[in-house]
Amino acid sequence: MTLDQTLPQHGWAYRQIALPVLALLRRGTSPEKLAWSLSAGVLIGINPILGSTTVLCLLLAFIFRLNIVASQITNHLVYPLQLLLVIPFISLGSRLFHTLPMPLSAKELLHAARETPVALIRQLWLWESHALVVWAIVSVALIPVLAFSLMPLLGRLLLRVQHHDYPVLPAPKD
């Protein structure tokens, strides 16, 4: 029997998500701090301003003394969700602030870019700023809900880690 046959086979999610979280718990990160860090990463990760999440996560992790690794893991995991939510955030922002809806047709956007590029840039910034307000309202409401939901789960996981129920590698056989 080879070494590869004795090691447990784990999927991508276990290796990329569960093992880093388990490692953080093993190294002494409290379930509470980890829950807040993961929650912040998720909700910062879905903000409608593409390209801003990594820096924003680092900044908030530094300010609130969150775990940077945990917040970055979830921040990067939710990137596809961020792409899916940009348009809904913009639409909700347009409704909330009673502005013109964003045209979703490429033809309309290209026409506006050719005819009135400065006006289009201003309108895009307006839509983005309104979407950011909607995201901020959603995030302020959901970060505590998500964090308090994760705390019991992470607490139970910590107990299992302390009892070595989830070893990264199996114990060597004598």
Q: What pLDDT does 39 receive?
A: 95
Mean predicted confidence (pLDDT) in 146-165: 86
Q: What pLDDT does 172 receive?
A: 45
Q: 30-47, pLDDT tens digit by residue?
A: 999 999 999 999 999 999
Q: What pLDDT does 10 receive?
A: 67
Do 86 and 132 form a contact (C-beta atoms < 8 A)?
Answer: no
Structure-token pair, residue 42: 């998720």
Give the DSSP H/E element, type plus range, for residue 148.
helix 117-162
Distance from C-alpha of 79 to C-alpha of 57, rounded to nearest angstrom: 13
Mean pLDDT of all residues belonging to the chain: 85
- Is residue 146 one of the residues assigned to a domain? yes
At 2, the pLDDT band (50, 70, 90 cuts) reads low
**Does residue 170 register a pLDDT over 70?**
no
- Is residue 43 one of the residues assigned to a domain? yes
DSSP annotation of 14 reads I
Q: How many domains does the chain have?
A: 1
Q: 52-105, pLDDT tens digit by residue?
A: 999 999 999 999 999 999 999 999 999 999 999 999 999 999 999 998 888 777
> Domain range holding 43?
14-162
Dihedral of alpha carbons 85, 89, 95, 98, sign? negative
Mean predicted confidence (pLDDT) in 106-120: 87
- Is residue 123 one of the residues assigned to a domain? yes
**Does residue 171 register a pLDDT over 60?**
no
Q: Say which amino acid occupies 8.
A: P
Q: What pLDDT does 160 receive?
A: 80
- Is residue 41 one of the residues assigned to a domain? yes
Record the pTM. Answer: 0.78
Compute CA distances 172 → 7, 42, 86, whole Å.
10, 37, 49
- Is residue 171 one of the residues assigned to a domain? no
- Is residue 6 one of the residues assigned to a domain? no
